[in-house]
Structure 1
Amino acid sequence: METRISEIADGIYRLSNSVESAASPDGFTFNQFLILGDEPLMFHTGLRKMFASNRDAIASIVPPERLRWIAFGHFEADECGSMNEWLAAAPRATPAHGEIGCRVSLTDFADRAPRVLSDGEKIDLGGGKLVRFFDTPHTPHGWDAALVFEESTRTLLCGDLFTQFGDKSLSLDGDIVGPAIVAEDILKYSALSPGMGTTIRKLSVLRPHALALMHGPSFRGDGAKALVELGDEYDRRTRFAIDQLDNRDMGRR
């Protein structure tokens, strides 16, 4: 397995593994992100079987033992499956996640005690890099779901938001929402809830210049507009699902 490397913003690297997908001939990517600084942060660890390839990729940028922080969007194999391998490779690294994720999963799973982050908390990585943590429960799925925003480059590390097929490294065509809707129709991976659209739209106030997708290309452009459009789409889907249930109940009466 080969891990491809691309710098998506100043000091932020995308480490991408492409696999075949039965759902699409375009394939599917698993992306990890490295934010440099005096205390480098890795967002997503990748699956355990991807560890060796990802470790070699990071080693071409920075010695793995220099990693200081390991964070992720939610507790799931592709998000943090190789966390303990990374903790062994980076003795100074600390796993960091929100209170729910730490209480429910991380405190037991991680070989090193995690740093519990509160909603909106900032970590100064040094070297001009500052990240802010945001709780996004159940958005797009997972009680412990969360995102990270790097302030100097205005890069939002989106986790599973905007998931799409294909192995392009960068999207510049202005449409990051359309392909995400296609993937949602096929995979149905989101946990629809009444608050989902609002949660996504609130992120638009960050006005990100770049969106770093866990599954799909990184995007440069009007990130706020894309987040509003995606939030509106999930509101539409939620209303449709509720209407379908109401109609089903009416049919039983």
Structure 2
Amino acid sequence: METRVAEIADGIYRLSTFVPDLTPAGMTFNSFLVRGEEPLLFHTGLRNMFPLNRDAVASLIPPETLRWITFGHYEADECGAMNEWLAVAPGAQVAHGQTGVSVSLNDMASRPPRVLDDGERIDLGGGKVVRYIDTPHTPHGWDAGVLFEESTGTLMCGDLFTQLGNEPALVHGDVVGPAIAAEDVFHYSSLNPGMGMTIRGLATLAPKTLALMHGPSFAGDGAAAINALADDYDRRIGDRLAEFGFARAA
């Protein structure tokens, strides 16, 4: 395996490792480095991928200068190498929402994490500012959240828009259809009545770039893509409710 580096927006880099035998089409595992005076890594990658990701980061910044570590939710591919990064970067701190910190990170992180309130910003310096947004149970995990870099309009989506295969680092075409297909394969989302509303709330950010953890990054009308994804989840939730004899909402 190798980890490939690509700049998907100004000062934001995708670190992508393709695992070919995970599915018939394979799957990418992506982390994102935001360069600034206080560099931030979104997703640590799996623990056994740490050497690959460390070397990828080292091609951009000295790894020991990393300041912030955050991720979509507490799960191995999001934060499996968390403590390895904390060991390499002595000034780094994990930052996540209240639920993730209280339930998992206070115990599992080797240094005390920082709690981020919903909507809280971190100024990384160099013109980069990230905003944390709670998305509980969306697409899964009650501690789920996303990160929005304001200067570039880049939404780091976590597992939203997950898709299979090994596409180019940045695409401009359909990002919703492949995500629907992946949901049909994995059924990885925690379907809940508030899901569509939560996802549509992200559309108000009008992101220019969607940074996917599994799949290519997307440049284009992020709001339209987000709303289309929400429509599909509304359909799925309606179908499931109908299976149990509940009428669809008008």
Do the structures match in fold with TM over 0.5?
yes
Q: CA deviation at 1:149?
A: 0.1
Q: CA deviation at 1:172?
A: 3.1
How many Å separate the matches in 1 of 2:38 and 2:52? 22
Q: Given the two structures, how large is their TM-score scaled by the length of structure 1?
A: 0.95
Q: CA deviation at 1:27?
A: 1.0
Preserved contact between residue 204 and residue 227 of structure 1 (Cα < 8 Å) = yes
How many Å separate the matches in 1 of 2:65 and 2:193? 42
Deviation string 1:146-190 (CA, Å, 9 cap, x unpaired) is: 000000000000000000011113343431000000000000000
What are the equivalent positions in structure 2 for 1:1-253 lying under 5 Å apart? Answer: 1-24=1-24, 26-246=25-245
- Tell me the SS of whatever aligns to 1:219: strand
Letter in 2 for 1:158: C
Preserved contact between residue 171 and residue 216 of structure 2 (Cα < 8 Å) = no
Letter in 1 for 2:8: I
Gaps of 5+ in 1: 248-253
Preserved contact between residue 45 and residue 82 of structure 1 (Cα < 8 Å) = yes
Deviation string 1:112-146 (CA, Å, 9 cap, x unpaired) is: 00000000000000000000000000000000000
- Alpha carbon RMSD of aligned pairs, Å? 1.0
Deviation string 1:166-218 (CA, Å, 9 cap, x unpaired) is: 11133434310000000000000000000001100110010000000000000
Change (3 A) 1:54 1:91: same
Preserved contact between residue 163 and residue 216 of structure 1 (Cα < 8 Å) = yes
How many Å separate the matches in 2 of 1:108 and 1:226? 37
- Tell me the SS of whatever aligns to 2:162: coil
Deviation string 1:31-69 (CA, Å, 9 cap, x unpaired) is: 000000000000000000000010011001000011000
Preserved contact between residue 23 and residue 186 of structure 1 (Cα < 8 Å) = no
- Tell me the SS of whatever aligns to 1:56: helix
How many Å separate the matches in 2 of 1:174 and 1:193? 28
How many Å separate the matches in 1 of 2:121 and 2:172? 32
How many Å separate the matches in 2 of 1:74 and 1:47? 13
How many Å separate the matches in 2 of 1:132 and 1:52? 28
How many residue pairs get aligned? The number is 246
Preserved contact between residue 6 and residue 169 of structure 1 (Cα < 8 Å) = no
Q: CA deviation at 1:246?
A: 1.6
How many Å separate the matches in 1 of 2:171 and 2:22? 26
How many Å separate the matches in 2 of 1:70 and 1:141? 20
Q: Given the two structures, how large is their TM-score scaled by the length of structure 2?
A: 0.97
How many Å separate the matches in 2 of 1:3 and 1:173? 22
- Tell me the SS of whatever aligns to 2:204: helix
Letter in 2 for 1:10: D
Change (3 A) 1:2 1:22: closer
- Tell me the SS of whatever aligns to 1:95: strand
Preserved contact between residue 8 and residue 170 of structure 2 (Cα < 8 Å) = no
Gaps of 5+ in 2: none
How many Å separate the matches in 2 of 1:22 and 1:64? 29
Q: CA deviation at 1:94?
A: 0.3
